[in-house]
Amino acid sequence: MKTNPETPAVELESNPARTIKIIGVGGAGVSLLDTLDGGEFAGAGLVAINTDAPSLATSAALVKIHLETKLLRGLGTGGDPERGRAIAEEQFSTLKTACGGADVVLIVAGLGGGAGSGISPVLARAAKETGALVLAFVTLPFLCEGNRRQQQAQQSLEQLKSVADGVICLPSQKTFKLIDENTSVLDTFRITGGLLVEGVRGVWQLLTRPGLIQIHFDDLCAHVRDRHSESSFAFVEAAGAGRSREVVEKLLAHPLLDEGRALAEADAVLVSLMGGKDLTMAEVNRVMEQIGRHCDHAQIIMGAAVDAELKNRLSVTVIAAKHNAVATAETPAGSTSLGTSGDQAGQMISRGSGARASSRCTQPAPAPEPREQLLARHTNRPRKAASKMRQEQLPLAIISKGRFDKSEPTVHKGEDLDIPTFVRRGVALN
């Protein structure tokens, strides 16, 4: 790799060892957790939570929490999220202890059933109350699994979105594009699970690997927060000489991105590149250029990191979030604004000690400072993302057209010329 002398040492240091806990909830969550076990996820605290003893028994997770009560008579939730929720509320303190000490909690669950749908939102709330940042990776059931499960999943998803900092959701139905006629049911579920795991891995790498161009965790949160389930992600890898081109091709053909359509429709795209030591700036640039071309409306946040273990492979994680007005209206700003990772610990403490033991975590709207600081810090670096960043505007202010209110508007190239020029051009008068 051509080492970039400009790479500030600060960037590498600003990634303190974060405690990350990955919590699998429900039958699907627990079995997904097993596939995560070992290897690169060694640093993570794996926790399995279920109401069903047999599933926990086979799990390889370090910490297993069996939510049991007389209410269930050892039979699990029976596919009823209400039971799941009830038991989770009952054992709220246990859940809180399980999340304790973590900076980041990743919840992995399959929605639609009883345990996953019922417990996940409560768990997310518990995790938030310990001061951790919460990201949920969930699957939605196949359409053929029936209406009831769909509804339960949607309901749970909404609840989850209002509590967790970010929800990344994988509608299982989309995996139909990945399978053919002969794929067995087992394989299908493995593929679905595999996709989710890839997402977790992508975020994991984002958070743990030293970044050359770092994606800060608040970037990630600002990115996924308050998004609708349309938040789609893709994780692709390629090796060899033409790897940057191959990666882009794979991305654009990725079924979870709707063959690139998700990129075009997204209004925020987070891209994380990970390469071996031979990762070149030209490659980063090529990939970003291609992605940038496909999402013209989106704000792009990019990060690049080097991992020696990747050798000659290049992996790219893309999270494309499509803003949904309805979803935003329904979900309160249930997320946090963290400072840069350097002062994260301090903030954590203050957050934890704050009088926030309310049942629903509704934080104040995030302050704009972190993003601006970030921008200021990155301005003198060749960063494509910087040019794409923009302050979003809410169409709330009604601009009076004064005396032209009732006359035919003078529209020139899509601009209403009756609105004062200084307003349209955003010239600030102070």
6 or 405, CB closer to other proteins? 405
Q: Select from 88-96, 166-174, 186-194, 415-423 the region that touches other proteins (CB under 8 A).
A: 415-423
Residue 416 Cβ, how far from other proteins at the closest point, in Å?
11
**In DSSP terms, which residues pair with 416 in a beta bridge?**
411
Instruction: Indicate whether 416 belongs to the interface with other proteins (CB under 8 A).
Output: no
Which part of the chain contacts other proteins (CB under 8 A), choosing from 215-223, 324-332, 362-370, 420-428?
420-428
Burial class (CB within 10 angstroms; exposed 0-12, middle 13-18, buried 19+) of 104 = buried
Q: How far is the CB of 181 from other proteins (least distance, A)?
A: 56
* End-to-end Cα separation, the chain, in angstroms: 49
In the bound state with other proteins, the residue whose beta carbon lies nearer, of 240 and 426, is 426
Please, which residues bridge with residue 104 across strands?
A: 20, 133
Q: Which residues contact 421 (CB under 8 A, 6 or more apart)?
A: none
Phi/psi of residue 327, nearest 5 degrees: -60, -40
Per DSSP, helices labelled H in 147-277 are 147-163, 185-208, 217-224, 243-253, 261-265
Question: Contact letters (x/-) for other proteins, 375-414, by CB under 8 A?
Answer: ------------------------xxxxxx--xx-x-x--
For other proteins, the closer CB: 390 or 403? 403
Torsion of CA 33, 34, 38, 44, to 10 degrees: 20
427 binds other proteins (CB under 8 A): yes
Nearest distance from C-beta of residue 390 to other proteins, angstroms = 21
Q: How far is the CB of 409 from other proteins (least distance, A)?
A: 9
429 part of the interface to other proteins, by CB under 8 A: yes
Task: Give the Cβ contact number of residue 245 at 10 Å.
Answer: 14
d(CA 167, CA 226): 8
Binding-site size, other proteins (CB under 8 A):
19
**Distance in angstroms (rounded) separating the CA atoms of residues 252 and 245:** 11
Q: Amino acid identity of 88?
A: A
What's the closest the beta carbon of residue 419 comes to other proteins, in angstroms? 9
Distance CA 372, CA 378 (A): 10
- Torsional class of 237: left (φ above 0), alpha (ψ -120 to 50), beta (otherwise): beta
Task: For the CB of residue 399, give the shortest distance to other proteins in the complex, in Å.
Answer: 8
Does position 422 interact with other proteins (CB under 8 A)? The reply is: yes
Residue 390 or 406: the one with the smaller Cβ distance to other proteins is: 406
420 contributes a contact to other proteins by CB under 8 A: yes
- Write out the residues near other proteins by the rule CB under 8 A: 399-404, 407-408, 410, 412, 417-418, 420-423, 425, 427, 429
